[in-house]
Structure 1
Amino acid sequence: MNSAEFGGSVHEAIARIVRILDAPDDLVTRFVSGGDGIPPCAILCIAGLSDLNMINEQIVPSLQQAFSAIGHTGKMSGKELFSLLNKQFLSVQKYKTTQSLDDILVSVLSGDTALFIDGLDQVLLIGSKKWTGRSVEEPQTEALVRGPREGFNESIETNIILLRRAIRDPKLRFDTYRVGARGKKEMVIAYIDNIVHPDLIQEVKRRVETIDIDDAPESGTIEQLIQDSFLSPFPLILHTERPDKVASAVLQGKVVILLDGTPFALIMPTTFASLIQSPEDYYERWHIGSLIRMLRYFAVVISLTFPSLYIALVSFHQGMIPSKLAFSIAAAREGVPFPAVVEAFLMEFTLELLREAGVRLPKPIGQTIGIVGGLVIGEAAVQAGIVSPIMVIVVAVTAVASFAIPSYSAGITFRMLRFCTMLAASMFGLYGIIMTIIMICIHMSRLQSFGVPYFTPMAPFFSRDWRDMLIRAPLTMLAKRPEFMQTQDEQRISDERGGQ
């Protein structure tokens, strides 16, 4: 063995690793000897993380076969034994060699098997991971009517397979990193080499390499550490658990990060328009996709401004309400002891509590709490004269609109900003709403995601990309990749009918 790392023998190397790990009960060590003149070997793994059947049925028999072959030829060094195993007897598919003690520890603690050969200055790390994992299931947070039903799971190997299955391009690259000084989670940066802009992939790698943290339990941790601004409430990196959405982003020239232990992949750069888009927009005909997308933009407006408009009109601008509707609202509010702003805040706060309780409770109970609780509390509040029926309708429509936003993080952002617009409307009426929206737009126009302005393609203006923003133009008019991505290969539809 390499004396600098392991002290000179297989037994000393194993003893050193056992001391470092403090001799855990699940650490499996097995010494294999072939007799005089044959270098002894040792196998090291963690029970439960490694496939012991594979070790007993493939690795150990390979060593025994090599020992039998050596017995007919005489003595053999560690390097010669390794060469013999590599060429003839080692029947495993995945292995690598290393001289680093840190690599050995990380691999063993990840489920691989370390094979030590006396006299060899390298250690074989054999892929033998096996632990109970979740199967490939339909994504829970991004349901579609039409589209694939496969979703990422917590195994990064499975997620890479799903992405390779979606994109069979030889230029698809997976750059592997270890994240976390103690957790040492495996992380992969995925992109297509001859499409992505070189500056983008270099910037992503630069930010990833600067991460210095004990552990990254979820991709949200990576997102917070590499995003452009941690003060903005808007998501600057899009997360998804849909392989088809990741494949589409990679084909557009974007970069994706996959982290072991989480089904959520990170897509960068991200624009505001991409938060409103859904993979289903491209699976349906362009008429249907455009209508649904415009409906989502309308849902964003409702989610952000509907309660504040009610507050402004009832409190400050009663003259803008049609007479019959004004009389109806006045009759409904008769006997309500609170002003419109207090009424709105009470209902919105109650709705947020119900929504959070529904998420945290077990799924069957959570659905019951969300539906029955909302109906019961709303009806009881109206009967008690605390809120008006109109206010219940406004809050209900706003909640439904917020659920229509595909991105969960974007939906939470608009829910937070809704309280800002409500507060501004309670003080300044419509002028407050307009000023708040202007401030939000100014803030968004200053944001960037990995060098791409957040309001792209509106500001800066890219006329060609408008075909896939408010509406989804026919596929023949989307012959080129997004202009703002500055990809190396612009063309994605070679049909002569494709637009420019």
Structure 2
Amino acid sequence: MSYRKLRKKMNDKEQIPDSANDTQKSISTSITENLNMIKQKTGNSPDIIIRMLPFGHDPKVNTAIAYVDGLVDNPTINEFLVQAMEESAQEEFQDKDIFTVFSEKVVAVSSLEAVKNWDTLFQSLLSGDTIILIDGKEEVLIASTKGGERRFVEQSDSEITLRGSKEGFTESININTALVRRIIKNPNLWMESMNLGKQTKTDITIMYLNGIADPDIVEEVRQRLGRVDLDSILDSGYIEQVIEDESSGLFPTIIHTERPDSVAGNLLEGRIAIFVNGTPHVLIVPAIMIQFFQTPEDYYVQFPISTLIRMLRVTMYMISLIGPAFYVAVTTFHQEMIPTDLLIIIASQTNSVPFPAIVEALIMEVTFEILREAGLRMPNKISATISIVGALVIGQGVIQAGIVSPAMVIVVAITAIASLATPKYDIAISARLLRFAFMLSAAIAGFYGIILGLIMLIVHLASLRSFGVPYLSPIAPLNPKSLKDTIMRGPIWSFNERPKSLHPQNSVRQGKNQRPSPPIKRGMIRADTKEGNKNDS
């Protein structure tokens, strides 16, 4: 018999029975057995703190607390649990009332719950609660003592605005939901909690406005989350990839944001927010394409300025999508579209370049993507320096070496800057990937290839759905009343109704006649003012 087979046979004999069945057993009345069970299940981990404490004047009553060091608020345990239990050692309690007296008179903690199964016990223990065990009782008390080191509320680095709130989400789901509660002080702001991930038991919370959000969409969110059967949930991206309508496309159909005001604005329109513990990114569904070009700051400034900025973002996105492809098509197939003087300059520059325009574009685009990714992953103190120096050195080097023409370097640089003008990273990266497909189509068929690619892209976008909502709505299908908040942004006083594509229960957003107007008669106001001043005197 070989060594591997012999070792496997020995392991099979020494294999410990599956401990998953042990957690389904009820809690024992012996505090010693319960503590041994906790130690066995956690592998005697050093961060599992177990303390034996006295309770009451009767020495026969043994009590203990167990918690995870680093996940609890130590002052709460010391001041409200340990101190209270030590003070109770001088008092006498009847044994039949020990559990009731313990929960009502001894422990000064706001949240206290009794459980009888091991699954709930371990889930609470590993979530930051403190377990209180009493000898002779088949149930234990769970005291809410969650705490530990957490990141403070700071400004979001990925969604920076000049105007508006500077608060951003953190990794704590309780803090994140509270930040939204501060904005929407409405009892109809409902939340539903669950745990996903067989190993991680990650806390998930659904938030929506009852009476506004479509019940069918809310139920669809519940069902999709209920079908999630993953081993671990480490970030909201895990949830996003398994609940979206189509995961094979390049375009995102779920929005994620780090701003509480952005979540509040979407909830007020009738959308649903999904909070995942351990990540500052909150998912918002359903999502339409035009939302990826909008920012919360668009609603904080006058509508003409917001409209121009949105149009600029869409234009920059199109430049980042087909900018190099347009240059390849013009220089390869449609030279007659270039002014004569400019054509002579471009021709003189490309005479010394041994590669066609498509090869030049591919070389520069791949090089820039490498520099972008390197700058993104490097430490902040040197990433900007490396990116700038790398771009200058490589750009100047390839021109002097005759590998790429100066015009191509300018085109790629403009394309790179345009891609950074898109507010959402998810939609910007789709243009970065599709850019190569458009360059190849332009090298094959010129403008005809670009137009064919755009038609195929529009058809694909029109077929996408986000929780049943068309991705291109309200443009396709056309809804004229909702066009005031797309590429163009109408004035705030004109937003009388919520988006029809979300099928809100309450479509009325604000009262009528919100449009500002100047005074009708100046003299009347002056007379009223003088009369009011006389009355005041």
TM value normalised by structure 2: 0.88
Q: 1:377-397, CA deviations, whole angstroms, 9 ceiling, x for partnerless residues?
A: 112211222111111111111
Alignment of 1:60 onto 2:79 = no
Work out the CA distance in 2 between the residues paired with 1:95 and 1:440. 56
Tell me which residue corresponds to 1:48: 70
Cα shift at 1:326: 1.6
Tell me which residue corresponds to 1:149: 166
Q: 1:435-476, CA deviations, whole angstroms, 9 ceiling, x for partnerless residues?
A: 111111111111111010111111111111100001110001
Tell me which residue corresponds to 1:30: 51
User: Contact between 1:479 and 1:498, CA under 8 Å: does it hold in 2?
Assistant: no
Task: Give the root-mean-square deviation of aligned CA atoms.
Answer: 1.9
Secondary structure in 2 matching 1:257: strand
Work out the CA distance in 1 between the residues paired with 2:109 and 2:436. 59
Cα shift at 1:7: 2.4
Tell me which residue corresponds to 1:364: 381
**Residue identity opposite 2:368 in structure 1:** L
Q: 1:353-378, CA deviations, whole angstroms, 9 ceiling, x for partnerless residues?
A: 00000001001211111222112211
**Residue identity opposite 2:26 in structure 1:** E
The residue correspondences of 1:127-206 to structure 2 (distance < 5 A) are 127-206=144-223
Cα shift at 1:67: 5.0
Cα shift at 1:334: 2.5
The alpha-carbon distance between structure 1 residues 3 and 140, as it changes in their structure 2 partners (threshold 3 A), is: closer
Work out the CA distance in 2 between the residues paired with 1:269 and 1:482. 12
Work out the CA distance in 2 between the residues paired with 1:253 and 1:486. 8
Cα shift at 1:194: 1.6
Tell me which residue corresponds to 2:95: 76
Work out the CA distance in 2 between the residues paired with 1:446 and 1:230. 13
The alpha-carbon distance between structure 1 residues 137 and 3, as it changes in their structure 2 partners (threshold 3 A), is: closer
Q: 1:164-198, CA deviations, whole angstroms, 9 ceiling, x for partnerless residues?
A: 11221111122111111001111111111121110
Work out the CA distance in 2 between the residues paired with 1:488 and 1:68. 60
Q: 1:381-437, CA deviations, whole angstroms, 9 ceiling, x for partnerless residues?
A: 112221111111111111111111111011001110011100100111101101111
User: Contact between 2:29 and 2:138, CA under 8 Å: does it hold in 1?
Assistant: no
Cα shift at 1:113: 0.4
User: Contact between 2:271 and 2:286, CA under 8 Å: does it hold in 1?
Assistant: yes
Q: Which moved more, 1:256-265 or 1:330-339?
A: 330-339
Unaligned runs of 5+ in 2: 1-22, 517-537
The residue correspondences of 1:231-242 to structure 2 (distance < 5 A) are 231-242=248-259
User: Contact between 1:62 and 1:91, CA under 8 Å: does it hold in 2?
Assistant: yes
User: Contact between 2:201 and 2:232, CA under 8 Å: does it hold in 1?
Assistant: yes
Tell me which residue corresponds to 1:93: 110
Secondary structure in 2 matching 1:244: helix
**Residue identity opposite 2:163 in structure 1:** R
Work out the CA distance in 2 between the residues paired with 1:222 and 1:244. 22
The residue correspondences of 1:182-331 to structure 2 (distance < 5 A) are 182-331=199-348
User: Contact between 1:62 and 1:85, CA under 8 Å: does it hold in 2?
Assistant: no
Work out the CA distance in 2 between the residues paired with 1:37 and 1:366. 65
Q: 1:233-277, CA deviations, whole angstroms, 9 ceiling, x for partnerless residues?
A: 101111111111111111111111111111111111111111111
The residue correspondences of 1:331-410 to structure 2 (distance < 5 A) are 331-410=348-427
Work out the CA distance in 2 between the residues paired with 1:464 and 1:68. 73
User: Contact between 1:38 and 1:67, CA under 8 Å: does it hold in 2?
Assistant: no
Secondary structure in 2 matching 1:467: coil
TM value normalised by structure 1: 0.95
User: Contact between 1:37 and 1:76, CA under 8 Å: does it hold in 2?
Assistant: no
State which of 123, 147, 151 in structure 1 corresponds to 2:140.
123
The residue correspondences of 1:421-440 to structure 2 (distance < 5 A) are 421-440=438-457
User: Contact between 1:66 and 1:84, CA under 8 Å: does it hold in 2?
Assistant: no
Alignment of 1:14 onto 2:31 = no
User: Contact between 1:37 and 1:75, CA under 8 Å: does it hold in 2?
Assistant: no
Cα shift at 1:6: 1.7
Q: Which moved more, 1:202-211 or 1:96-105?
A: 96-105
Q: Which moved more, 1:287-296 or 1:137-146?
A: 137-146
Work out the CA distance in 1 between the residues paired with 2:261 and 2:204. 20
Alignment of 1:488 onto 2:488 = no
User: Contact between 1:96 and 1:124, CA under 8 Å: does it hold in 2?
Assistant: yes
**Residue identity opposite 2:480 in structure 1:** S
Unaligned runs of 5+ in 1: none
Q: Which moved more, 1:484-493 or 1:447-456?
A: 484-493
Count of aligned positions: 493
User: Contact between 2:115 and 2:139, CA under 8 Å: does it hold in 1?
Assistant: yes
User: Contact between 2:275 and 2:283, CA under 8 Å: does it hold in 1?
Assistant: yes
